[in-house]
């Protein structure tokens, strides 16, 4: 469909920005440089139509674009120059690829006559990024710009979403063209959504109707498919207990009576062990990641497995299902719900509740209501829950705090928990929270970050200040690389090799960037400090000093079965 009424003669750099406007883009995150300077110069022509957020590092730009996309469901956009600017995007691109985040990254490139000459700041970013993008393309001709950008957006947001990179030679930015924009609606040989086989859905329903101990595992596919309503209707009619992967958190309210909790290495006790006790396992929009399955040779061998998935590459990859249903989950679930019987599984669910009570007495009570002197990560999350009533967007970095936040966050809404799942990227939290806040200005965005990851992208405090982004930062400081230290404690005889951190005065650092903050050392200060942070009109840093050996349990050790989950250090 043509969205411009007539052709307009303009430059390639203008055409890039006009194309973004045609795609409904309002915000770009980026960092300028020589090879992309023509586009940045043209930005001056579109003030009021395009908002640009100047990050302090290109990694900050792409993580912010990820946060924007994850919070809004829209395509995130970032820009960088050639060479080191482009390569600084690579970590974020890889993160977006494995976590299915729709992004369009635009990089400048040296002029086309210089390609392959090792010119100043020339890097083959198309070659480098090929394994970690859904698609990428080098534009050397000005007239290609509208068509390639339209194609990029279509690929990024359709089917299983993901990142696309467009590299634009500098001479193509300077050149002229007759601009006409046509949105891309199809590409030959690209079939983003497999045709749903309704007979397979009916076959799945027949198995579910015969089940005595069925169990649903749901992931981010429910969110990406905008199928939260359809999923909830299926769950409530079926009466089946359900558990989520870390990226599925929020697709079903955490206090829903059929929500049994979190799967995986640091998931809930019952949700893990019941995987090897159910008779039918229904996987919806999840990919059987190794952190969820543990030892595949001992995973759900007693169960019939049904897998609903949009990406054919994920089907039969780790687990061979008895019934494989390829297609759009939003289309498949209503059909499944129609064919299943309305049932309850009180006895089966009571087993989960017994497991939860065991976990509560051993782990949860001590995390949330500690009797020991030192502060815990869990009680900080409890205070945040009590103050936000489950309506905030929680963004995390990677480490112990990430696992604690995912275990204890109380959430009412979808797209309200954002973390780096598959790649586990330290430094993700702060810039991602910026992007989420820009995309959701009417919501409270809280970044939960450890002292290690915070220092990887701490310079983005400058972006937060300059762009007046009112994100709230909770820094859980134990002066260690906590997750690595926990493994060293448990599996390497407490040989704490290179995990101690001599940290700066974070409050003074934040104040240097114009951001107020407070450091909490004692329990009586915590509640009022959390309320003060949330009441702040602008950005705020709350640093909480956490005891060193505040470990995360339960835990499924690497290579173990999910049935071998550890509840405490004493119960290995």
**How many separate helices (H) and strands (E) can be counted in the chain?**
24, 20
- Which of the following is catalytic: 22, 23, 58, 543? 58
In angstroms, rounded to a whole number, what is the distance separating the alpha carbons of residues 26 and 52? 9
* Angstrom distances, CA of residue 331 to CA of 294, 457, 483: 31, 40, 40
Say if strands 540-545 and 517-520 run parallel, antiparallel, or are unpaired: parallel
**Helix H or strand E encompassing 538:** none
The C-alpha angle with vertex 102 and arms to 98 and 106, in degrees rounded to 5, equals 105
> DSSP secondary structure string, 343-362?
---HHHHHHHHHHHHHHIII
**Which uninterrupted H or E stretch holds 396?**
strand 393-396
* Of 7, 49, 120, 176, catalytic: 120
Taking a C-beta distance cutoff of 8 angstroms, is the pair 480, 548 a contact? yes
Asked if 342 is an active-site residue, the reply is no
Beta strands at 242-244 and 259-262: parallel, antiparallel or unpaired? parallel
Integer CA distances (angstroms), 480 to 261, 428, 486, in order = 28, 18, 10
Q: Which residue of the set 134, 151, 170, 304 is catalytic?
A: 170
Q: Is the peptide bond before 554 cis (omega within 30 degrees of 0)?
A: yes
How distant, in Å, are the alpha carbons of 152, 155, 414 from that of 75? 10, 11, 17
- Is residue 159 within 8 A of residue 311, CB to CB? The reply is yes
295/550 Cα distance (integer angstroms): 27
Tokens of 9: 């003669």
Please list the alpha-helical segments (H only) found in 99-239.
Answer: 125-129, 145-157, 170-174, 198-210, 221-224, 228-238
Residue 58 falls in the annotated catalytic set: yes
C-alpha angle 533/539/540, rounded to 5°?
Answer: 40
Work out whether strand 176-179 and strand 8-11 pair parallel, antiparallel, or are unpaired: antiparallel
Pick the catalytic residue from 37, 51, 74, 121.
121
149 neighbors 166 (Cβ within 8 angstroms)? yes
Catalytic residue among 483, 488, 533, 553, which? 483
- Separation CA 422–CA 105 (nearest Å): 20
- What is the per-residue DSSP string for 230-291? HHHHHHHHHT--EEE-TTTTTSS-TT-TTEEEE-STTS-HHHHHGGGT-SEEEEES----HH
Residues pairing with 545 in the sheet: 477
Q: Name the β-bridge partners of 517.
A: 541
DSSP string, 432-493: HHHHHHHH-TTS-EEEEEEHHHHTTSGGGHHHHHHTT---EEEEEE-SB-HHHHHHHHHHST
The Cα 477–Cα 380 span in angstroms is 12
The yes-or-no answer on residue 359 being catalytic is no
Active-site residue list: 58, 120-121, 170, 483
């Amino acid at each position: 469909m043509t969205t411009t009424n007539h052709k307009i003669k303009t430059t390639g750099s203008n055409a890039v920005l006009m194309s973004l406007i045609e795609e409904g883009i309002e915000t770009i995150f980026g960092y300028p440089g020589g090879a992309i300077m023509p586009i940045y110069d043209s930005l001056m022509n579109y003030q009021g139509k395009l908002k640009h957020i100047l990050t302090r590092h290109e990694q900050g730009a792409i993580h912010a674009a990820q946060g924007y996309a994850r919070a809004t469901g829209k395509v995130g956009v970032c820009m960088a120059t050639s060479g080191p600017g482009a390569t600084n995007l690579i970590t974020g691109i890889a993160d977006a690829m494995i976590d299915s985040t729709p992004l369009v990254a635009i990089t400048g490139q040296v002029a086309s006559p210089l390609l392959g000459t090792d010119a100043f700041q020339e890097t083959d970013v198309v070659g480098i990024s090929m394994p970690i993008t859904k698609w990428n393309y080098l534009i050397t001709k000005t007239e290609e710009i509208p068509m390639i950008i339209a194609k990029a957006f279509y690929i990024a947001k359709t089917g299983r979403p993901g990142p696309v990179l467009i590299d634009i030679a500098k001479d193509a930015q300077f050149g002229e063209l007759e601009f006409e924009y046509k949105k891309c609606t199809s590409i030959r040989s690209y079939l983003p959504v497999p045709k749903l086989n309704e007979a397979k859905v009916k076959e799945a329903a027949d198995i579910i109707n015969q089940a005595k101990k069925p169990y649903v595992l749901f992931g981010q596919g429910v969110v990406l498919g905008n199928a939260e309503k359809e999923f909830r209707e299926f769950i409530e009619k079926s009466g089946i207990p359900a558990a989520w992967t870390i990226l599925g958190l929020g697709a079903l309210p955490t206090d829903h009576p059929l929500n049994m909790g979190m799967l995986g290495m640091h998931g809930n006790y019952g949700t893990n062990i019941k995987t090897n006790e159910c008779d039918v396992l229904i996987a919806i929009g999840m990919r059987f990641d190794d952190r969820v399955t543990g030892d595949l040779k001992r995973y759900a061998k007693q169960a019939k497995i049904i897998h609903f998935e949009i990406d054919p590459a994920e089907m039969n990859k780790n687990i061979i299902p008895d019934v494989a249903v390829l297609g759009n989950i939003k289309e498949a679930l209503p059909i499944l719900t129609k064919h299943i019987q309305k049932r309850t599984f009180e006895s089966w669910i009571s087993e989960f509740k017994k497991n939860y009570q065991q976990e509560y007495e051993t782990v949860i009570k001590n995390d949330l209501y500690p009797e020991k002197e030192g502060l815990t990560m869990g009680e900080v999350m409890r205070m945040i829950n009590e103050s936000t009533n489950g309506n905030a967007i929680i963004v995390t970095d990677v480490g112990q705090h990430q696992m604690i936040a995912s275990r204890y966050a109380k959430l009412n809404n979808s797209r309200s928990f954002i973390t780096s799942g598959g790649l586990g990227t330290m430094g993700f939290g702060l810039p991602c929270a910026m992007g989420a806040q820009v995309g959701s200005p009417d919501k409270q965005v809280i970044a939960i970050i450890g002292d290690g990851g915070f220092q990887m992208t701490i310079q983005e405090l400058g972006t937060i200040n300059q762009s007046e982004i009112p994100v709230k930062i909770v820094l859980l400081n134990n002066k260690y690389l906590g997750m690595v230290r926990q493994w060293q404690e448990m599996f390497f005889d407490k040989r704490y090799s290179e995990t101690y951190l001599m940290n700066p005065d974070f409050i003074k650092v934040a104040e240097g960037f114009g951001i107020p903050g407070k450091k909490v050392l004692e329990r009586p200060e915590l509640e009022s400090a959390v309320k003060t942070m949330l009441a702040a009109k602008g950005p705020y840093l709350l640093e909480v000093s956490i005891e060193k050996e505040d470990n995360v349990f339960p835990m499924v050790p690497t290579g173990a079965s999910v049935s071998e989950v550890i509840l405490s250090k004493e119960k290995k």
